[in-house]
Structure formats: C-alpha cells, structure tokens
Amino acid sequence: MIQLKELVAYLDSYLKIESVEDICWNGLQVEGKQKIGTIGFAVDAGTTTFEKANALGVDFLIVHHGMFWKYSNPSIAGVNRKRFEALDQNRISLYAVHLPLDKHRVVGNNAELLSVIGAKMVEDTEGKASKSIGCDGLFSKATSLEFVVKKLERSLPTRCKTLPFGSKKIKSVHALSGSASHADIENAIKRKIDLFITGEEMELYHAALDGAMHVIFAGHHATETVGLKALMKKVKKKFSVTTKFIDLPTGL
C-alpha cells in the first residue's frame, strides 16, 4: 500500500508535469482513497474505463486523456456528472498525464515507439526538432518500411496505413504519438527524415510525396498505449502495489 499524496508527488516529479505547457490539466483530477493498493492504467477517461477499473479493484487510475481540459466546461454536470459518479461511488482517484507522457525520454510514448521498432533515440542538441514533442531516432543498420510496419503491428498491436514515398533504405525516423500537425511534417521533411511515424490519419499525401518521406499511421489510441505500459512497469518496480492495464481499444 502507498499513501495517495506520496504517489501523486512521485508522479508529478518523475513526469515533470509542471514543465510542459498543455491543454490538459495534468496531475490529480479526482481525489479518492488515501491508501492505494492497486493502480490502473488506461488511455482514455470515460465511464466504460471507470467501470472496468472498479471491476478490477483499482484504487488509483492513471490515464493519458483525462476528464478536464483547459478549453472545456469543467462543470460536474451532464457527461462529467456521469463520469464523476462512476469514480466517486468507488472512491477511485483519477490522474491524467497528457503531453508530459508523450515527450518523456524514458517512459514516453515517443521514446517507446522508437524502442519498439529498434531505433536509438537521438537527442535534439541543436534544437532542429524543438517545435515537436516527438523523438528522433536512428537505426544502426538501414531498414525497410515493411520491417517497421511489421514491428508496429505485432507489438502495439495495430493495423498501419502508410504513405510509401521515401527511400527503400530507412535510416532516420521521427516518432510522434497520437496526432501530428502539418508543421511537424514540414519540419521532418526539411530535416530530411526518412520515416515519420504518428497515430492519427491526416491528409499528408502530397506533402509526403513531394518531400520523399515515408509516413506510417499506426493509430492514435495504439501509439499512446506504449508509454502507459512503460510507466506501469516503472511504478510497479518503485512501489509494492498491484498494477493493471485496462485495454479498451477504440479502433481510431
């Protein structure tokens, strides 16, 4: 068992939630039991997630997409009321970590995506990718698009869609879980990145074609499971608690 305040303090510090500007209210969003025995991990906050957490005996739930966002109505009414009741009736605490988990260099979604495909993370010492929360990586030996797709589909698991417009031999990669922006793509093309991996599909056909860069869309949800699973291992090793991953794929 661990005290709530101790767990929250550890997560706040380890994930450096105060150092990342975000539209999510990162950190403890709903306070429940003061003594934690079982910690759950899930991508999305939602009534289905909360009901599953309760069925698994979860006391403290860590999600990537929380209940409260800076540009949404925080009133405990309507959908928020339904969700809050599902937590409060079972005294489950809710902790959200959005962009700080995406960009974390040890347990982050992007760092883990590079690990899954066997690429070594390269630190952005010159600030060339500073506008992206993604991670650059290099393969020790040039690889193929087909090899990377197989790795992702086997490990996440997911079904990838590709824009196969780059070189047959892939050396450099940029991983950006969830969703990318056109600026992220333009930055990668400008830096001559061979392969861009992201989650959510977007209209990049001609940008990738003209920029001679491969793009893999591996699913918004799927690409954001890997960081939570890495964090789960870290927390389990740090504290004497039971951990549960709540797998509720959305297909998106």
Asked if residue 111 lies in contact with residue 91, where contact means CB atoms within 8 angstroms, the answer is no
Amino acid identity of residue 30, one-letter, is: V
Asked if residue 19 lies in contact with residue 26, where contact means CB atoms within 8 angstroms, the answer is no
Res. 47: pLDDT tops 60: yes
The DSSP code for 119 is P
Phi, psi of 26 (to 5 degrees): -70, 145
Phi, psi of 64 (to 5 degrees): -85, -45
User: Which token pair is 187?
Assistant: 């930055």
Fold of domain 104-223: 3.40.1390
Q: How many CA atoms lie within 13 A of 73 on its CB side?
A: 7
Round the average pLDDT of the chain to a whole number and report it. 95
For β-strands 135-143 and 170-176, DSSP reports them as antiparallel
Asked if residue 25 lies in contact with residue 70, where contact means CB atoms within 8 angstroms, the answer is yes
User: Which token pair is 105?
Assistant: 């260099």
Res. 232: pLDDT tops 60: yes
pLDDT confidence of residue 240: 85
| Residue 218: pLDDT band with limits 50, 70, 90 | very high
pLDDT confidence of residue 131: 63
Tell me the pLDDT tens digit for each residue of 150-161. Answer: 999 999 999 999
Calculate mean pLDDT across residues 204-230.
Answer: 97
Distance, in Å, from the CA atom of 190 to the CA atom of 182, rounded to the nearest integer, reads: 12
Percent of residues, the chain, with pLDDT higher than 70: 97
Tell me the pLDDT tens digit for each residue of 117-165. Answer: 999 999 864 555 556 799 999 999 999 999 999 999 999 999 999 999 9
pLDDT confidence of residue 120: 97
Identify the bridge partners of residue 30 per DSSP, sorted by sequence position.
94
Asked if residue 137 lies in contact with residue 173, where contact means CB atoms within 8 angstroms, the answer is yes
Enter the CATH code of domain 2-101: 3.40.1390.30
Asked if residue 246 lies in contact with residue 56, where contact means CB atoms within 8 angstroms, the answer is yes
Amino acid identity of residue 219, one-letter, is: G
Task: Tell me the three state secondary structure of residue 163.
Answer: strand
Calculate mean pLDDT across residues 86-105.
Answer: 96
For β-strands 135-143 and 120-122, DSSP reports them as antiparallel
In this chain, the answer to whether the domains covering 2-101 and 104-223 adopt an identical fold is yes
Tell me the pLDDT tens digit for each residue of 30-45. Answer: 999 999 999 999 999 9
Distance, in Å, from the CA atom of 65 to the CA atom of 83, rounded to the nearest integer, reads: 13
Domain residue ranges of the chain, discontinuous segments joined by +:
2-101, 104-223
Q: At what angle do helices 226-238 and 4-14 cross, to 10 degrees?
A: 130
Tell me the pLDDT tens digit for each residue of 174-213. Answer: 999 999 999 999 999 999 999 999 999 999 999 999 999 9
Q: How many beta carbons lie within 10 A of that of residue 25, not counting itself?
A: 17
